[in-house]
C-alpha cells in the first residue's frame, strides 16, 4: 500500500519569504508524484508532477519540487511567496489507476 504524509498541517510565512512544504511517501514500487493547490472555495488544480527523468520539477506560479528517492520525499518550494499563494496544498501519489492524497498543508502568507 502507498501512503502520503505531509509533515506540516499549517505553514505561516511573510510575503516575499521562501517556503518549503514537506511531503514524504511510502511505497515499495515506483510511483508518480503530484502537488495540487486548492484556493479558497475552489476545487484542486495541478501545480506540478514528477513522472521520471530530472528530479527537479518546475510547476506553475514559480513553484518547484524535488524528488528524492532515497529519502522518499517530494518537497515543494518557492523562493519568494505572494499573498495570492495563500491556499491549501496537497501532495499525492499514484501507482495504480487511483491516487492517494496527503492531509494537506495550509499555507498562509502574511503581508
Partner 1 sequence: DVKVTQSSRYLVKRTGEKVFLECVQDMDHENMFWYRQDPGLGLRLIYFSYDVKMKEKGDIPEGYSVSREKKERFSLILESASTNQTSMYLCASSLGTSGTRADTQYFGPGTRLTVL
Give the interface segment with partner 1, choosing from 4-12, 15-23, 65-73, 74-82 (CB under 8 A).
4-12
Positions of E strands within 1-111: 3-6, 10-14, 19-21, 23-26, 32-38, 44-50, 56-58, 64-68, 73-78, 87-94, 99-101, 105-110
Can you tell me which residue has the cell 519568494? 80
Of 9 and 71, the one with the shorter C-beta distance to partner 1 is 9
Q: Give 66's strand partners.
A: 56, 75
Ramachandran class of 82: left when φ > 0, alpha when ψ lies in -120 to 50, beta otherwise: beta
**21: contact with partner 1 by CB under 8 A:** no
What string marks each residue from 71 to 90 as x (binds partner 1 by CB under 8 A) or -?
-------------------x
Segment interacting with partner 1, rule: CB under 8 A, options 2-10, 11-19, 20-28, 62-70? 2-10
Which residues of the chain form contacts with partner 1 (CB under 8 A)? Answer: 4, 6, 9, 32, 34, 36, 41-46, 49, 51, 90, 94-104
Amino acid at each position: 500500500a502507498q501512503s502520503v504524509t505531509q509533515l506540516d498541517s499549517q505553514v505561516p510565512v511573510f510575503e516575499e519569504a521562501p517556503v518549503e512544504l514537506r511531503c514524504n511517501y511510502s511505497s515499495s514500487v515506483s510511483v508518480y508524484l503530484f502537488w495540487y493547490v486548492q484556493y479558497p472555495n475552489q476545487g484542486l488544480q495541478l501545480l506540478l508532477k514528477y513522472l521520471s527523468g530530472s528530479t527537479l520539477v518546475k510547476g506553475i506560479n514559480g513553484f518547484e519540487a524535488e524528488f528524492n528517492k532515497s529519502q522518499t520525499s517530494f518537497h515543494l518550494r518557492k523562493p519568494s511567496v505572494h499573498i495570492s499563494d495563500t491556499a491549501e496544498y496537497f501532495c499525492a501519489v499514484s501507482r495504480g489507476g487511483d491516487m492517494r492524497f496527503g492531509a494537506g498543508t495550509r499555507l498562509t502568507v502574511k503581508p
